[in-house]
Amino acid sequence: MIAHPAAMDRRHLLALAALAAAVPVAASAAEKKKTGGDTYLPMNTLLGTMIRASGSRGVLSVDCGLDVQDPALHKLADQNLPRLRAAYVQTVQSYAAGLASGALPNADYIAQTLQRQTDTILGRPGAKVLLGAIIAN
């Protein structure tokens, strides 16, 4: 069956309109706003599986980032973000797995552990771990 020429023009026009509408959205997604200033390095949310009080599985999520004032250390931390993230994820996963059923997460312990790992990976102190939300869901 051959499509009517006007129907084809409409389809092309709708396809172009959809593409034109998607371009600003894609551009804004690529230019994600970095909050926290020039010394802040954001980290993707860290997730770990835990057991809820009901016995079902839950998720512990930790939002964090690094504040690095020293420019040389900031560059080193930025280059080591994959290593830092891997260490952080392993810590959160281990902590969440060992969290007692129904217990609240200990933010101080998480912060101290992540800080220790940061200092070890970077080879010296100076990059401060900043915790955001810690959610046990």
pLDDT per position as a tens digit, 50-109: 988 788 899 999 999 999 999 999 999 999 999 999 999 999 999 999 998 888 899 999
Do residues 111 and 52 share a domain?
yes
DSSP annotation of 25 = H
Indicate if the alpha-carbon torsion angle 67, 71, 77, 78 is positive or negative: positive
* Rounded distance between C-alpha atoms, residue 106 and residue 124, angstroms: 25
Alpha-helical runs (H) found in 31-127: 71-79, 81-98, 107-122
Inform me whether the pLDDT recorded for 11 exceeds 80.
no
Do residues 51 and 79 share a domain?
yes
Do residues 92 and 59 share a domain?
yes
Domain hosting residue 23, numbered range: 1-32
CATH code where residue 72 lies: 3.30.479
Inform me whether the pLDDT recorded for 25 exceeds 70.
no
**Predicted TM-score of the model (pTM):** 0.71
- Say which residue, 48 or 28, is predicted with more confidence: 48
H/E stretch holding 62: strand 57-68
Q: What confidence score (pLDDT) does residue 55 get?
A: 81
Residue keyed to tokens 């970077």? 122
